[in-house]
């Protein structure tokens, strides 16, 4: 081995769902004495992304940071106006320009860890600079496999048709057609085209680092890593659940209310950083919570981008709901410290969209989920959650926008989530397995140590 520690370049893409795993990986690498340089694009779509990056830097002074300027795509593409999709594309377009920055880094880089949505641009210059590139997947192995196979699916329309029942990836259990995100049926959709153009580069990577663990997705991991499925892919390296790093308390709304609630009595409700529910659906959810009568902590978002979220809670819910339920629950707007909430003994269940970071956070804490996928990878993730026994999934609620789910239905499902001892035991078991996986000598710990060992050579 060399005298100098390995130096790793990190390239996240847009949105908190993509930034968070990179910051967790950065913290982990720093604690293992690696040098780390984080490359972030400026401006960010959400204000939270830049806040978190600054917070992280203030608590991890050893981290080197390069904030590069991009030209954001303000105009909407003809297939989407989702600001996060547009930012994925803008960051990818910019990536080749980073070549000189990377080639002049000192000490030179031992490896690049880059978001899967940047695979093709980073692969090109990584090869040119002879730096090994590891792709970081921010989703489940199951959904990652679907993305890896997407170029084949879109080139043969018969394989991906909304009139068939399922999608077959040779070597894997078939995916239900209803779990495929709607943009994938349109090869011209910006998101689809973006994944299709990046997927071929997955096979050029040195490995696919993924926030999951062996026990949680055993079949898909075994199928891919044995070469039975997607044999062109390099090894999938499950190193999760990624360990959360310390966040300073004074940066978040404190929730003293939680401390006074009985153990495992509170339902935590949140749909991640990029989902805004319709006002009507928010009202039905309020109705469901009130009918059920459970204690709740509900984080509400009413716009996709945090900077634009300026609706008052009273407008969304009506002031009488807040009055009627004031002894039962609290509703908050703005960013909360989710990792801390899930670790709180008062939390007994989580109503969630199945963003992959949230799934892994719930898994590490053994908190049972009621899956209510809204878009993207979330239905495929919900299926993984259900198979692992971490949660229940109200499949007939459809995608978030498909139909209005009524208060009565929500009331019933909350009952199933909170009063189901079997589910709770199973979720506890998931939590134990998660801790085992990343504890010393556990499956994820071994994989991570293996990666670092290679970098040290």
By the criterion CB under 6 A, which residues form the site for ligand BUP? 15-18, 20, 138, 270, 272-275, 299, 335-339, 355-358, 361, 376
Closer CB to ligand BUP, residue 113 or residue 335? 335
- Smallest gap, in angstroms, from Cβ of residue 111 to ligand BUP? 23
Q: Which residue among the candidates 7, 60, 82, 115 is catalytic per the annotation?
A: 115
Cβ proximity to ligand BUP, 7 vs 344, nearer residue: 344
The distance of closest approach from Cβ of residue 40 to ligand BUP in the complex, given in angstroms and rounded to an integer, is: 16
Q: How far is the CB of 277 from ligand BUP (least distance, A)?
A: 12
Cβ proximity to ligand BUP: between 321 and 356 the closer is 356
Closest residue to ligand BUP in the complex (CB) = 17
| Alpha-carbon span 296 to 299, nearest angstrom | 10
> Does the annotation count 377 as an active-site position?
no
- Give me the least distance between CB of 127 and ligand BUP, in Å please: 27
Name the catalytic one among 7, 18, 60, 353: 18
Of the two residues 274 and 424, which places its CB atom closer to ligand BUP in the complex?
Answer: 274
Residue 194 annotated among the catalytic residues of the structure: no
Residue 87 or 339 having the CB closest to ligand BUP: 339
Closest contact distance (angstroms) between CB of 358 and ligand BUP is 3
Active site residues: 18, 115
């Amino acid at each position: 081995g060399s005298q100098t520690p390995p130096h790793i370049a990190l390239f996240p893409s847009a949105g908190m769902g993509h930034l968070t795993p990179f910051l967790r990986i950065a913290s982990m690498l720093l604690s293992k004495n690696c040098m780390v340089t984080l490359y972030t694009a400026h401006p960010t779509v959400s204000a939270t992304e830049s806040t978190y990056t600054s917070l992280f830097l203030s608590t991890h002074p050893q981290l080197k940071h390069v904030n590069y300027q991009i030209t954001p795509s303000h105009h909407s593409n003809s297939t989407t106006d989702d600001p996060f999709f547009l930012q994925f594309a803008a960051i990818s377009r910019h990536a080749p320009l980073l070549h000189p920055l990377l080639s002049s880094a000192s000490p030179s880089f031992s490896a690049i860890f880059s978001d899967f949505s940047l695979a093709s641009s980073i692969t090109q210059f990584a090869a040119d600079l002879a730096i090994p590139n590891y792709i970081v997947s921010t989703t489940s192995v199951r959904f990652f496999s679907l993305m890896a196979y997407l170029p084949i699916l879109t080139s043969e329309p018969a394989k991906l048709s909304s009139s068939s029942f399922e999608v077959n990836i040779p070597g894997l259990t078939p995916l239900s057609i209803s779990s495929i995100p709607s943009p994938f049926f349109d090869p011209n959709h910006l998101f689809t085209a973006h994944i299709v153009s990046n997927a071929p580069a997955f096979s050029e990577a040195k490995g696919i680092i993924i926030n999951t663990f062996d026990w949680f997705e055993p079949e898909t991991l075994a199928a891919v890593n044995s070469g039975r499925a997607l044999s062109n892919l390099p090894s999938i390296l499950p190193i999760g659940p990624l360990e959360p790093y310390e966040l300073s308390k004074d940066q978040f709304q404190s929730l003293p209310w939680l401390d006074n609630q009985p153990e495992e009595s509170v339902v935590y409700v949140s749909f991640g950083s990029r989902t805004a529910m319709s006002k009507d659906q928010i009202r039905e959810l309020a109705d469901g919570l009130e009918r059920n009568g459970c204690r709740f902590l509900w984080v509400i978002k009413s716009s996709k981008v945090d900077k634009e979220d300026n609706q008052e809670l009273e407008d969304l819910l009506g002031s009488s709901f807040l009055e009627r339920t004031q002894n039962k629950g609290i509703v908050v707007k703005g960013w909360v410290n989710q990792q801390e909430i899930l670790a709180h003994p008062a939390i007994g269940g989580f109503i969630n969209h199945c963003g992959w970071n949230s799934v892994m956070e719930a898994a590490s804490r053994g908190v049972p989920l009621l899956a209510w996928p809204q878009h993207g990878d979330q239905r495929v993730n919900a299926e993984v959650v259900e198979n692992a026994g971490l949660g229940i999934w109200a499949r007939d609620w459809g995608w978030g926008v498909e139909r209005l789910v009524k208060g009565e239905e929500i009331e019933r499902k909350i009952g199933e989530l909170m009063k189901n001892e079997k589910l709770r035991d199973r979720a506890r078991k998931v939590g134990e397995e998660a801790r085992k996986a990343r504890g010393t000598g556990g499956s994820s710990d071994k994989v991570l140590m293996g990666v670092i060992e290679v970098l040290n050579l």
